[in-house]
Structures are given as structure tokens and as C-alpha cells.
Amino acid sequence: MHKQTALPATFASGPFTLTDATAQGVPRNRLLRPDVAHVSRGLYRPADWDFELEAAARALSAATPGAWISHVTAARLRASCLPPWLSDSTELHLSKPRSLPSVRRKGVIGHTVTAAEDEVESVDGIRISTRSRTWLDMARMLPLKDLVCLGDELIRVPRLAFEDRDVPFTTVEELRILTDRHKNLQGIVRAREALELMRVGADSGPETLLRLAMLDAGVPEPQLQLTLREADPLSPSADLGYRHRRVAIQYDGGHHLMPKQQLSDRRRDKAFEAAGWTVLLFGKEDLADGFERAVSMIKRELRSAWVDPAVVSGFSRSR
């Protein structure tokens, strides 16, 4: 009776390339056994493997020299801000330069593109489009508002204490240079429209969507990350707001349901209220209805809010 040769442990847990199998001494006829599935040219996986995006992308990248992971796959691997209909996507997108043959792999969405060297990088062994290039590639796929959300995520200034970095991934100016480099790329018009709507200061996609809903409804553009005390680095802040009208607007997402965060939120809101501000709180229910109720509340509050006579004339002229 023929004894089945066991696969190396690394091959039993995810996709692998023919090159790697050969290097590990696995004979080709071993890859014909029922416990191995042939994915596409030079690429295999265990027959009982449960799909995992990073493992699939890693193997696909290794099996396709000169190509890189891009579009939705790149955005998902970086946990980028995507709309619900793409947040769980298992699509595999692979880009190649025009100098190489087009991508022809089963189950892979191929793109033949023009990309500069600094638009592709290697992250944990995976060749992948940079965050900025991924944003540009997604311009052909995402509605304008979702592209603005993705862009706001890239240009926001992170907090060193929470994210181990204090420099944004990119800036509007750098993204503008990137769009100018690719004037004929599909989606370039939408990318330029998004640049005009992007703002530094949104900490989440819903915050951006709320701001855009306000602008669509004719509400004056709010300040972002508005601190109660301007000169105090420890001052509580509002996600959006209007200092001259003493209106603070907060979007409390899922993490705000944690007891510790709820306590912090209450202290934050009470500080604003004690200083004579009105605090408007919104959440996932408002996101679900496109912020229609939220915008109505904000409009109503702005019409009735206290206005500092010293700035009211300037506010009127600017709007």
C-alpha cells in the first residue's frame, strides 16, 4: 500500500506556490493528490483550506513576479475605510505593468496599469500598491462619498499615544501630485472631486459621511476636532462643531459602547455643557438613515444657537 507523503506544515495551512513546493522537496505528483487543490498556474492550496485573504494574497503575489496586490484587496489588507458592501470582500485584485502580459488567473481580477516605482511597496512579504495608489485605484470603483472617506483616513493626523505614529499616511498635496501623474486613469475625475471635499480631522468614515450630508443640505461647513479650550492640549474635543455658535457634534461609534469609553464620553460632554455649549450626539442609527434626522437637528440648533456678536457679521459674509 502506497504511503502518502505528508505536506510541509506551512503548506497544510494555506496557499503555496509550485516554486516553494519544489524548494521543499515536494514532488509534482504529490500535488495531484485529493488533499491538494490546484488554484491556477503555479499556485496550490490545501483542499480543506478555509479562505483567508492575507494568505491568498501572499501566495498570489509570490506566484506572479512583477505584479502586485491592488484595488479592493489592497484596501482590505490594510483595514482601510470601505463601504459595507466591500468591507468583507474576498475579491483578489492583481495589477501588472503594461510591459508584462495581462493577468489571466482563475478567480483573480486583473488590471494592466501604469505605475511608478514609488506606488508599489513590499509589506510583510507581499507586493502591494501603496495606500495612496490604492486610493487612486479605488476612484474607479467607489462612489464619491466613500472615496472621500477613504481619503480622509489617509490624511488625518494620528495620535501617537493610540497609533504609535503621529504623521499622516499622506497629504492632499501629495495625492494631488499623484492624480496629476495619471491624467488618463479611469476614475481620475472622481479622484479630483474627492480631493476638493477631503478634510483633515475626521477620525472615522461616519464622521466624514455626516460632514458631507451637512454640506449637501446647505449647512455651513463645521470645524473638525474642535477643542473646548483652544490653547489647552488636554482639552476635550468635539468631532465636528461651531465655536461661534457653541454647538458640539459627536458621532459615537461602536467602541463608545464600552463602559470606560462611555464614562470618558460623559465627562467630555458635560465639560462642553458646563461651558454653555449644546452637545448633539449621533450614532449608528443616524448613519443608517443617511444622517437625515441628524442634519435636521443640526439645522434647527444652528438657527436657535447663541451667536457671539463679534463674529456674526464675519460668519454671514463667509457663508
Query: Given this model, what pLDDT does residue 260 score?
Result: 63
| Global confidence as pTM | 0.85
State the sign of the Cα–Cα–Cα–Cα dihedral 74, 76, 79, 81: positive
Domain architecture of the chain: domains with CATH: 1-50 (no CATH), 51-200 (no CATH), 202-319 (3.40.960.10)
Share of the chain above pLDDT 90, in %: 68
pLDDT in tens, 225-256: 999 998 888 899 999 999 999 999 999 876 54
Let me know: does 299 contact 308? Beta carbons within 8 Å.
Answer: no
What confidence tier does 310 reach under pLDDT thresholds 50, 70, 90? very low
DSSP state, residue 175: H
Let me know: does 58 contact 69? Beta carbons within 8 Å.
Answer: no
Centroid of chain to Cα 184 = 24
